[in-house]
Amino acid sequence: MKKTRSILIKEVATGSSIELGINPESITVSESRDNIKENIDAIGDVYFPGKRGLKSVSISTFLPGSKSKFRRRGSLQTELELINRWISEDVILRVVISKPTINFKAILDSKSITLKEGDLDVYIDLKLTEVKDIDIPTVESVSIFKKAEDTAGNTDVALSDRGAENAPKSGNVEIVNSKTTLWGLAKKYYGNGEEWKKIAEVNGISDPKKLREGMQILIP
């Protein structure tokens, strides 16, 4: 029977890949969103859209044995060695599924292999999770933030005294306590709690629900 779609798992660095000869009956691609619930005085619970979570895909199929009629290319041993390397080393992969097109970088999160008596095929279960490219702060940007931390106790220090021409425009540094939320800070300084993402971006905060007491937050 002709395959409905192609499923390719490919190493980004080397190009080594496995294209499944036998597709699973179904493929599950999961994706979440890290939405935020805040409790606002006089309003109650309010729900805000957060950042997109990571995709993941689960694949259950079998790799045909070397003498199987389903073995069209490559060798079973080579495919097993690739999978073993993907789980034991820091290998970045690309998952490409057609119809509809699904294409993202991933790492192999887990694998299981089942061998059945009288059957030379190898049954596999793979879970792959998306990896994102991130920008690492430069030495200059880290120095700017460190200087801002050093002046946190004096909110009257002029921005020019904090160092860099491109530093976040801020006249205030807030010290986080048990009641601090980014929504509350945005409401306090901008009059609009929905501006909390601006504060999160400047301070490199990926999860606004995990503010650490005592940390210092620049208000742009």
pLDDT tens digits for range 99-126: 889 999 999 999 999 999 988 899 999 9
Indicate the fold that domain 7-130 takes in CATH: Elongation Factor Tu (Ef-tu); domain 3 (2.40.30)
pTM of the model: 0.55
Listed as ranges, residues in the chain with pLDDT below 50 are 155-170
Question: What pLDDT does residue 177 have?
Answer: 84
Q: Which two tokens stand for residue 192?
A: 């609009």
Q: By the 8 A CB rule, do 129 and 106 touch?
A: yes
Question: What pLDDT does residue 138 have?
Answer: 54
Q: Does the 139-219 domain belong in CATH 2.40.30?
A: no
- SS3 helix, strand, coil % of the chain, rounded to 5? 20, 35, 45
Q: Which two tokens stand for residue 71?
A: 């073995």
The domain limits of the chain are 7-130, 139-219
Q: By the 8 A CB rule, do 172 and 26 touch?
A: no
Question: What pLDDT does residue 212 have?
Answer: 81
Q: How many CB atoms lie within 10 A of CB 86?
A: 22
77 torsion bin: left (phi>0), alpha (psi -120 to 50), beta (else): alpha
Question: What pLDDT does residue 159 have?
Answer: 39
